């Protein structure tokens, strides 16, 4: 394989509020968008000819990756004018694909190890993975190493082996798309037409971003691989248990404690006497004030967190300001997304540019939209839409 097609046109409505202003593939985790980790895995595997299918918020992808030269790739962009399915997205690439190519979702975290063997497979093949919650995915029925069926999101899964949505395909696939909208339906058509479809199982990293809290597991997986990099200014009486990565221009004030894995971006200010526990990533230009305790969280860029805040298992998007003594402690919550209910052990999910007053308590599982304003000493729960005002 010398070419890959990345499907990156979707909006990701179930990831709101984080995808209201951002493409889901551009959601930042540990300082980089999810899509950048996919491109890295491909280039490290020798695949540098990359086609990206774009649509929703496509200008963000253009601006970040450009021609691909900065990440060692040659990127061609194809526009998907209607976000109606993965097969429709793939059909848009017919004029720019070669004889054999990989197809990958743009919102899945993978590593080089995930696709190490798959890049050498002959089409047609699907990359498979054993998971604990197969009903979220396309469940594979296998006979030996051949796929007999793909059942999308069954109520009762007969197997824990699922499709990762990563395929090795040849140009024959375009003859089977027709009016089909999703790639699994196309694969079913190819099997019915006599094409054997192999399943190649991986034990490498594969995580998808479907719901807001999925960013925490992706963050944890990324941080498990970080090097120890101590840039910036680290004052005396700071305890650091690696791996911890600290960007240039960042100041870690006296009395602070960090237990890796932790990533802190550039030009941040931490402490004094702040505690940052793994697995936590912090963006650029962010302030974590004195006596804060943060663990297993994703904190965006340009965030200001006042003194005495306690934040666990939470995601806080860019530009949000938390006044002192804000509390978001993890707990089991029943979270409703569209018509789905999920029992999740999580803290708070806060959108962009929110302003949260002093002493606010966030109940486990609260999802706060973008540009919300919450007055001091309030208890928030459930879901607050964008531009909410809590008085």
Mean pLDDT value across residues 201-217: 91
Q: Which SS3 state, helix, strand or coil, does residue 163 take?
A: strand
- Confidence tier at 174 by pLDDT (50, 70, 90): very high
Count of residues for the chain? 391
**CA atoms of 11 and 82, how far apart (whole Å):** 11
Instruction: Please report the pLDDT score of residue 363 as a whole number.
Output: 96
Give percent of the chain with pLDDT exceeding 70. Answer: 100
Instruction: Please report the pLDDT score of residue 26 as a whole number.
Output: 93
Output the pTM of the full model. Answer: 0.90
DSSP 279-339: SEEE-SS-EE-TT-EEES-EE-TT-EE-TT-EEES-EE-TT-EE-TT-EE--EEEEEEETT
Which of 267, 292, 263 lies closest to 280 in space, CA to CA? 263
Instruction: Please report the pLDDT score of residue 99 as a whole number.
Output: 85
386 pLDDT above the threshold of 80: yes
Q: Which range, 13-27, 186-200, 305-319, is most confident?
A: 305-319
Strands 108-110 and 206-208: antiparallel
Span 352-364, pLDDT tens digits: 999 999 999 999 9
**CA atoms of 363 and 327, how far apart (whole Å):** 9
Please, where are the H alpha helices in the chain? 34-44, 58-65, 86-91, 183-192, 214-223
**CA atoms of 204 and 185, how far apart (whole Å):** 26
Instruction: Please report the pLDDT score of residue 336 as a whole number.
Output: 83
Structure tokens at 21: 């202003």
The angle formed by the CA atoms of residues 19, 22 and 28, to the nearest 5 degrees, is 95
Those residues whose C-beta lies under 8 Å from the C-beta of residue 143, and which sit 6 or more positions away, are: none
Q: Which range, 13-17, 185-189, 350-354, is most confident?
A: 350-354
Q: Are 27 and 15 in contact (CB under 8 A)?
A: yes
- Confidence tier at 309 by pLDDT (50, 70, 90): very high
Structure tokens at 57: 């918020």
The angle formed by the CA atoms of residues 348, 349 and 353, to the nearest 5 degrees, is 120
Mean pLDDT value across residues 30-46: 92
φ, ψ (nearest 5 deg) of residue 120? -105, 5
105 pLDDT above the threshold of 90: yes
Q: Which residue has the higher pLDDT, 51 or 83?
A: 51
Instruction: Please report the pLDDT score of residue 68 as a whole number.
Output: 87
8-state DSSP, 363: P
Strands 379-380 and 383-384: unpaired
- Confidence tier at 144 by pLDDT (50, 70, 90): confident
76 pLDDT above the threshold of 80: yes
Distances from the Cα of 99 to the Cα of 80, 102, 130, angstroms: 21, 11, 30
Q: Are 114 and 37 in contact (CB under 8 A)?
A: no
**CA atoms of 134 and 105, how far apart (whole Å):** 18
Span 276-302, pLDDT tens digits: 998 999 999 999 999 999 999 999 999
- Confidence tier at 151 by pLDDT (50, 70, 90): confident
- Sorted by where each starts, the structural domains of the chain and their CATH numbers stand as 3-210 (3.90.550.10), 223-390 (2.160.10.10)
160 pLDDT above the threshold of 90: no
The residue to which tokens 């809590």 are assigned:
390
Which of 274, 333, 336, 334 lies closest to 299 in space, CA to CA? 274
Instruction: Please report the pLDDT score of residue 106 as a whole number.
Output: 92
Mean pLDDT of the chain: 92
Instruction: Please report the pLDDT score of residue 285 as a whole number.
Output: 97
Instruction: Please report the pLDDT score of residue 155 as a whole number.
Output: 76
Q: How many CA atoms lie within 13 A of 88 on its CB side?
A: 14
Those residues whose C-beta lies under 8 Å from the C-beta of residue 278, and which sit 6 or more positions away, are: 223, 259, 260, 261, 262, 295, 296
Those residues whose C-beta lies under 8 Å from the C-beta of residue 164, and which sit 6 or more positions away, are: 108, 110, 126, 127, 128, 129, 202, 206
Give percent of the chain with pLDDT exceeding 90. Answer: 68
Q: Are 235 and 251 in contact (CB under 8 A)?
A: yes
Span 333-344, pLDDT tens digits: 888 887 788 888
């Amino acid at each position: 394989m010398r070419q890959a097609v990345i499907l990156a046109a979707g909006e990701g409505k179930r990831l709101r509020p984080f995808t209201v202003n951002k493409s889901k593939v551009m959601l930042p985790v540990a300082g980089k968008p999810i899509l950048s980790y996919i491109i890295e895995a491909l280039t490290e595997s020798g695949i540098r000819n990359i086609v990206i299918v774009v649509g929703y918020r496509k200008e963000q992808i253009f601006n970040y990756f450009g021609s691909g030269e900065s990440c060692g790739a040659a990127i061609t962009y194809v526009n998907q004018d209607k976000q109606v399915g993965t097969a429709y997205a793939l059909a848009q690439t017919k004029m720019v694909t070669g004889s054999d190519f990989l197809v990958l979702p743009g919102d899945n975290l993978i590593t080089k190890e995930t696709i190490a063997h798959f890049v050498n497979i002959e089409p047609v093949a699907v990359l498979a993975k054993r998971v604990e919650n197969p009903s979220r995915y396309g469940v594979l029925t296998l006979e030996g190493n051949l796929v007999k069926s793909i059942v999308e999101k069954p109520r009762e899964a007969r197997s824990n082996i699922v499709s990762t949505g990563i395929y090795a395909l040849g140009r024959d696939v375009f003859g089977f798309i027709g009016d089909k909208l999703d790639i699994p339906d196309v694969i079913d058509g190819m099997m019915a037409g006599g094409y054997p479809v192999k399943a190649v199982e991986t034990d490498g990293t594969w995580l998808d971003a479907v719901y807001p809290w999925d960013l925490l597991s992706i963050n944890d997986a990324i941080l498990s691989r970080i090097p120890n990099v101590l840039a910036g200014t680290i004052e005396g009486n700071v305890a650091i248990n690696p791996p911890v990565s600290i960007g240039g221009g960042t100041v870690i004030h006296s009395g602070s404690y960090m237990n890796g894995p932790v990533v802190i971006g550039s030009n941040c200010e931490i402490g004094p006497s702040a505690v940052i526990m793994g697995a936590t990533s912090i963006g650029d230009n962010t302030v974590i004030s004195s006596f804060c305790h943060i663990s297993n969280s994703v904190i965006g860029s340009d965030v200001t967190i006042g003194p005495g805040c306690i934040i666990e298992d939470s995601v806080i998007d860019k530009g949000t300001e938390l006044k002192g003594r804000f509390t978001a402690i993890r707990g089991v919550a029943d979270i409703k997304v569209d018509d789905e209910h999920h029992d999740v052990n999580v803290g708070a999910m806060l959108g962009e540019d929110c302003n949260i007053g002093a002493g606010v308590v966030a109940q486990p599982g609260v999802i706060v939209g973008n540009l919300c304003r919450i007055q001091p000493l309030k208890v928030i729960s459930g879901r607050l839409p964008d531009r909410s005002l809590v008085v």
